[in-house]
Every structure is written in C-alpha cells, then in structure tokens.
Amino acid sequence: MISFTSYPLQLDDESFYGSRQHHPDAAEDIDMDLDDEQELFEAGGSKNLTYPGEPLTSSHAYMRGHGTYVNDEEVIASVAGTIERVNKLVTVRAIRTRYNPEVGDLVVGRITEVQPRRWKVDANSRQDAVLMLSSVNLPGGVQRRKLESDELQMRNFFEEGDLLVAEVQAFFSDGAMSLHTRSLKYGKLRNGQLVTIPPILVRRLKSHFITLPCGVDLILGLNGYIWVSKHVKESDQEGEEGFDAEAVYSNQNDRIDELTRVAISRVTNIIRVLASHFVPLTDTLLLEAYEWAVDQEDGAKDLLQDDVGDLLVAMITTRRQ
Amino acid sequence: MASISLSKAEKSYIQTGLLSNPPLRADGRSSLDFRSVALETGVAPLANGSARISIGRTSNGGGTEVLAAAKLEVESVGEDGVDGGRIMCTVSCSPAAYPHISSNGLDDLQHDMSSILHQTLSHLSLHPKNLGILPNKKSWLLNLDIAVLSDSGNIYDALFMAARAALWDTKVPRTRSIEYKVKKTGSSVTTGTGKNGGSGDMDVDEDTPSGFDTRQIQNATDFELPDYWDEGEVLDGRDKWPVCVTLNLVPPVHYLDATLQEEAATPLKLLLAFSFLPSTPPDIQGMRIIGPGEIKPSYLKDLVKDGEKYARELFSSLNAKLKDEDLRRNQKARDRFEQHR
C-alpha cells in the first residue's frame, strides 16, 4: 500500500558536470544550427547548456536576443538554456519557462474568469489569454452573428474551470494572446484528463491531434497542457454543417469503458515519466513507449516507479539512435 | 478550500472512475495505493530534530513536499512556560505551493493546518516526560515548525508523517542542575551537584554521583549542559507520536492519498490520527471531517475501523523507514569520523 524511498544523494561536482548533456535529439538540433559557428562556443567550451551570467560572444559581432543581455561589450546569457542563433541574432531558450505564444499555435487552456464579452483563459503563459465571445462558434450555425442574449448566457458556453482547446489568433498590445475556437476541431474538452509538462518539451508537429491505436486521443497543446481522452470517431464528432450546441458545449462525459480508462492512465503516466526525464514528446515516441509499456504487462501505476520509468526512457533513447 | 479549479467533465471523469468496479484512478493506482513517499531525517543542522518528506516525487521534483523541524527553547515557569514543558506546532505554507490562493486565504489555510496539528500533538496523553528541566523553574518549549513547500494533494498525511519523523529525530540536551551553597565561613560559592532536578530523566546522569546525598535537590536555581557536544537523549515517548490517514469519501467508496485533482473532485474527507503502542490497543488521537456533506454514524464506525487498518500499515512502514534513516545517519557519521581521523 505504501512504500518509502530515500531522496537521491546530493550530486557532487564531478557527476554534476558529467550529466550536463542534452537529450540526443536536442543536441543534434543545436549542432545543426551552430556547427559552422564555433565562435559562439568560445566561452562556453563544448557545453550545450548556458548558465545565467555566462558570456556567449562579443556584442560587436552579434545582436542580443531573448534570454541575453549585454555587459562590457559581451553578450551574456541571463537564463539557463540552449543557444539559438538566427544570422546575427543570438537568443537563449530557457529550459524552464512559461509558454511563449506564437500566432497559429494550438493551446489547451482553462477558463479562469468570465468577463463582459470575453473569457480569461489560463494557458500557462505569463498573462492570462483572452477568448472573445466573437471568436467562438455560437450554437445554431457557424456564421451566426452574436446577439445580446449570447452575452447574457456566456456561462452556458464556457464557465470557470472549463478546459478548451483553441488556437492563438493574435496578440493584444500588452502581449496577452487572443484565442479563437472557430473550427469544429476546437472547443470544450471532455472524456479525459489533463497532464501538464514543461512547454519546451512539446515540439511543433504536423498535427497536434494524435490518435493512438489503443483508443486514446491526445491533444498536445504547445503550452505544455496535454489532453488525454477517449477516442471519438470523426464521423461522430459533428454532423457535417449541423453544429450541435448540445454536444459542443456539453459537460457530460460519454460512457468510458474500463480498458479505455486504463489506456488513458497509462498514456498519462508515460507522458509524466518522459517529462520527468526531459524527453521531448512526439507521436512516434509515444507510440513506441506505449507498446513497450503494454509488453511489460505491468499495471499503469508501475510506470511511476523510478526503475520502470528509467527503463522506459533508456529503451526509447537507445532505439532512436 | 484549497482546491484547484476543475471542469465539470474532469470532476465527473474522476468520480465515475472511483465508483466503477474495481475503482480506477487517474494514474492507475488502486484506491488504497499511496504514491511513493521519500523521507529524510536530520535535514536541518541547527534544529534539534528535523525531517523532510515528499509524496509523489519524480526525478525532477513535484509532489507534496513538507519540511519539519523541532527546536527546543528554555522557558521560565511562571512567565510563559509551563511546568514540565510544552509543545507548540506551527505550519506555514509557501505562497509558491498555493499560487491560486490570496495571502489572506493562505493565512486561513495555515491556521487550519496549525490548529489541527497542534491540538493533536500537544495533547496531554502524548506529552513527553523529559521536557522539564527544573521543577517549577525551567522547562523546554518544543517548537515544531513545519513548512509546506509544495502541495500536490494529501497534505495532512504528509504533515503528520513529517511531524512524527521530526519528533522521532529530536534529541533533548542533557542538563545538570546547579545550586548555591553557603559555606560555613559565610561567603557563597557555586558548586555543581549531581542529581538532576528534572522529573523524568533519572537514567541519564549516573556518571556524576552526588556523594551521599541521594535526595532530590529542591533548591536548585539554574542548570548547565554537562556536555556541549552531546546531542542528548531522544524525546521521551517517541513511539507514541500519531500518524494520520486521510480517507477521501465518495460514498459508498473511499480512497487514500488523493492528488490535487482528486481532492477537487471529492469534497468530503475524514482525517484519522492514530497512535499505536506495542501491546496496547490503538488510540485515536484526532479526528476531523473536512468539507461539506455529512456522514451517518454507522458508516463512520466502519470508516474508523478501516482507517485503523490503513494507519497501522502506514505506521509500521514509517517506523521501519525511520529506523533505516537512523542507521544511515549513524553510518554516515562514522564514515566522516573515519575520514577525519
């Protein structure tokens, strides 16, 4: 029922520096970017991670970007992260950070507030995102204009705590993002559970809606919120043009059988394990991990044990090299 | 309440899972499974006893993390102190652990936690006998301070486990009383005498015989620490400190070790604090129902019975872990001694 473990031993200096490596995928990316540009590494040696205060390069030759500052004619990293360079612009992408939105990103968010004609949405960003009443699909047809009565019944569409999937539409002058759900793919989420990982681990994919063969749908929000739910057949999603308000803004879950629930838990745990080992997520990787986990014939909860998690990550990283 | 916001669909997903047969939880645990609990004692070098605990920790952090430290302070009886010593428990929550709660709400929350812990642990039936120094003059005040560093559910169990571990680890310095004796010539001289004026610790100072006088010294005025380096003896009655199990209730079922999401979906929980002494029936040291809702007395009876079973299991594995920790630290101290020799 309950088991006690010890805290891991404090790392001494030697093993700390030994472990400062990237995940192989990420290391590859950086090499590709920078192999012709060894100058940037002058100060940092062969390390791929910066530390705050680390001098990167001369400010005469390069421009400072996000995550850096200039002092004494040197560009200095202000965060721990990976160096990225576009022409003469040097930026450091922090390892642990809030989500930096870009227009067109798919995000999963949670309603925090209902305001006049808009919802405030927590999307793991520095500020709450805004979802305008005019940028959601209203019941009764996609092209319907919003009415005053809609403003009065906003909580029938989304209320506090509701989860939704949306796309970043634009930015306001203060940097807050504006979302929209004007697509049948977007909208309220149900039939599943949320798992949160660092946003840097979600890579840009061709599609962020993933269906695993075990009957589980995944929505990988670029903000690090991942929705794991029961698979819904496309034909069942919505009848062609007929936009069913009942279904889209419903709070009721469908019946979910036991096997699907176990599969959802297993996928969630795999995502947690991968995130705790700092492995970036992709659909193929998840699939491999899921097959491995099923082969082990353990329960879903066993994945959360440290040794099983280590095995899983070791399997994935070796297979991908 | 300290729960996070959750959509109706998520709530009903969690509740239906718990009510299905067998109960299915979000991370695949069965209803009586705990997440893995990491425990370490002796983490604060300046405290008399300390421990940190984390429930559901992964390799890059997360989980419910609690730090507990016990510090002894000398009090004069009559000013603030009480003859025989007293215990004060304080819980403080880091704002980082509850980012969604305002500072006022946080104060309320830590007051709630402090009062539950204090009322349970400072009860007379648990009072350690060796907190007195000089009868009716000096006593120890044991400050048990607990910091909640992060909360991902099941905070009360973590608080009680941390408290038990820190108190288990607590060492009370040995003291020796001093009295003034008037010499026959008339000038007063200080002398240290042997027999301890404290009430409970007769067994400690056999090595300082007090001559022929075996009576208790009644006119001792002050005390001294005979050995600066010695950490002292363990707190009396350390086997008695209770453990708490939180039963989260979704009638007709209940489950243990809820995550934050599960807590938000199950408003009603029952805290049961048990203390187990070998060869005596277990004592309920504390009991709380938290959240809206009601329980029928007959149902409560069953819950207490079940709770005792879980608590006993928790208690015995916690004890085993604490003994392991004692061994580990002895070993570490010995290694360090070897190195410096």
Asked if A7 and B62 come within 8 Å (Cβ–Cβ), the reply is no
> Where do we find the tokens 């709770």?
B307
Judge: B30–A301 Cβ closer than 8 Å, yes or no. yes
Give the separation between CA B41 and CA B69, rounded to whole angstroms: 10
Per-residue DSSP letter, A145: P
Q: Give the mutation candidate from B1, B3, B8 for the A interface (greatest A CB count, under 10 A).
A: B8
Asked if A278's CB is within 8 angstroms of B60's CB, the reply is: yes
> Are B59 and A277 within 8 A, CB to CB?
yes
Say if the Cβ atoms of A163 and B7 lie within 8 Å: yes
Are A188 and B9 in contact (CB < 8 Å)?
Answer: yes
Closest partner residue to A261 (CB to CB) among B12, B24, B314 is B24
pLDDT of B186 higher than 50: no
Concatenating the DSSP letter of every residue in B47-103 gives SSEEEEEEES-BTTB-SEEEEEEEEEEEEEBTTTB-TT-EEEEEEEE-TTT-TTS-H
Contact A189 B9 (CB under 8 A): yes
- Pick from B48, B86, B54: nearest CA to B69: B48
Average confidence (pLDDT) over B291-298: 88
Is the confidence at residue A32, as pLDDT, over 70?
A: no
| Closest CA of chain B from A298, distance in Å | 11
Give mean pLDDT, residues A97-111.
Answer: 93
Residue B22 pLDDT grade (very low, low, confident, very high; cuts 50, 70, 90): confident
CB A179 within 8 Å of CB A107: yes
Query: Domain residues of chain A, as ranges?
Result: 13-94, 106-256, 260-319
Nearest to A251 among B8, B38, B256 (CB): B8
- CATH, domain range A106-256: 2.40.50.140
Indicate if the alpha-carbon torsion angle B122, B124, B128, B129 is positive or negative.
Answer: positive
Q: Which of A248, A236, A244, A251 is nearest to A141 (CA)?
A: A244
Q: Kindly list the strands in the beta sheet with B188-192, ordered across the sheet, starting from the edge strand earlier in the chain.
A: B188-192, B176-182, B222-224
Partners of residue A216 in chain B, C-beta under 8 Å: none
| Predicted pLDDT of residue A305 | 79
Decide if A3 and B318 are in contact by the 8 Å CB cutoff. no
Q: Cα separations (Å) of B174 from B130, B230, B231, B232, B241?
A: 10, 8, 8, 5, 22
Three-state SS string across B201-251, please? CCCCCCCCCCCCCCCCCCCCCEEECCCCCCCCEECCCCCCCCEEEEEEEEC
Cis check for the bond before B22: say yes or no (omega within 30 of 0): yes
Whole-number pLDDT of residue B57? 81
Q: Which helix (H) or strand (E) holds A187?
A: strand A187-188
Does A106-256 match A13-94 at the fold level? yes
CA pair distance B31, B260, nearest whole angstrom: 15
* Angle, in degrees to the nearest 10, between helices B297-340 and B155-169: 40
φ and ψ at residue A307, rounded to 5 degrees: -70, -40
Give this complex's ipTM: 0.82
Q: Given CB atoms, is A211 within the 8 Å cutoff of chain B?
A: no
What's the gap in Å between the CA of B57 and the closest CA on chain A? 9
Work out whether strand A216-220 and strand A187-188 pair parallel, antiparallel, or are unpaired.
unpaired
Give me A73's structure tokens.
């004619």
Interface with A, mutate which of B4, B7, B15 (most A CBs under 10 A) = B7
Query: Which residues in chain A (273-302) have CB-CB distances under 8 A to chain B?
Result: 273, 275-278, 299-301
Q: Which chain A residues are Cβ-neighbours of B29 within 8 angstroms?
A: 301
Across the beta sheet with A55-58, the strand order is A55-58, A74-77, A68-71
Interchain contact A156–B (C-beta under 8 A): no
- Cβ pairs A/B, distance under 8 A: 129
Check residue B77 and give its pLDDT: 87
Question: pLDDT band at B198, cuts 50/70/90?
Answer: very low
For residue A35, pLDDT beyond 80: no
| DSSP codes of every residue in A224-263 | SEEEEEE---HHHH--SS---HHHHT--PPPP--HHHHHH
**Chain position carrying tokens 């969604």:** B100
List the beta bridge partners of residue B72.
B142
Contacts of A304 in chain B (CB under 8 A): 27-28, 35-36, 58
According to DSSP, residue A40 is labeled G
Contacts of A193 in chain B (CB under 8 A): 10, 13-14, 26, 261
Confidence band for B271, pLDDT divided at 50, 70 and 90: very high
Q: Cβ of B261 and A193 within 8 Å?
A: yes
Q: Which residue of B has its CA nearest to A272?
A: B58
Domains delineated in chain B: 8-173+231-340 (3.30.230.70), 174-227 (no CATH)
- pLDDT per residue over A54-82, tens digit each? 999 888 999 999 999 999 899 999 999 88
Chain B closest-CA separation from residue A92 CA (Å): 22
| Contact residues, A window 180-209, toward B, CB-based 8 Å cutoff | 188-194
Q: Is A70 at the interface with chain B, CB within 8 A?
A: no
Our CA-based measurement puts residue B291 at a distance from the nearest CA of chain A, in whole angstroms, of 20
CA distances from B180 to A272, B68, B188, B220, B294 (A): 67, 40, 7, 8, 63
- What is the maximal distance between C-alpha atoms in chain A? 66
Confidence of residue B279 (pLDDT cuts 50, 70, 90): confident
Candidate from B20, B28, B59 with C-beta closest to A300:
B28
Residue B118 scores a pLDDT above 90? yes
- A chain contacts of residue B259, beta-carbon cutoff 8 Å: none
Instruction: Show the tokens assigned to A250.
Output: 């419903």
B46 has a chain A CB within 8 A of its CB? no
DSSP annotation of A208:
S
Q: Where in B121-214 does DSSP place strands (E)? A: 132-134, 138-150, 171-172, 176-182, 188-192
Q: Residue A16 and residue A28: Cα distance in Å, rounded? A: 22
CA distance A158 to A160: 7
Question: Which residues 246-265 in chain A show a CB within 8 A of chain B?
Answer: 251-253, 256, 258, 261-262, 265
User: A204: burial class by Cβ within 10 Å (0-12, 13-18, 19+)?
Assistant: exposed
Band of the pLDDT at B218, cuts 50, 70, 90? low
CB contact under 8 A, B13 and A268: no
Q: Could A276 and B60 be called an inter-chain contact, meaning their C-beta atoms sit closer than 8 Å?
A: yes
Q: In whole angstroms, what is the distance from residue A10 CA to residue A7 CA? A: 9
Closest CA to B181 of B151, B211, B160: B211
pLDDT recorded at residue B201: 47
Cβ neighbours of A299 in B, within 8 Å: 28
Mean pLDDT value across residues B224-243: 83
Tokens at A123, concatenated: 């999307």
Residue type, B220: A
B163 pLDDT above the threshold of 90: yes
Looking up tokens 């082969």 gives A295
Q: Options 3.30.70.2740, 3.10.20.440, 2.40.50.100, 3.30.2310.20; which CATH number does A13-94 get?
A: 2.40.50.100
Q: How far apart are CA B263 and CA B152, in angstroms?
A: 9
Residue type, B199: S
In 3D space, the residue among A235, A237, A217 whose CA is nearest the CA of residue A227 turns out to be: A217
Among the partner-chain residues A160, A193, A306, the one whose CB lies closest to the CB of B10 is: A193
Q: Which of A158, A79, A151, A150 is nearest to A121 (CA)?
A: A158
CA–CA dist B96, B115 (Å, integer)? 22
What does the block give as tokens for A143? 């092209």
What average pLDDT does chain A have? 82
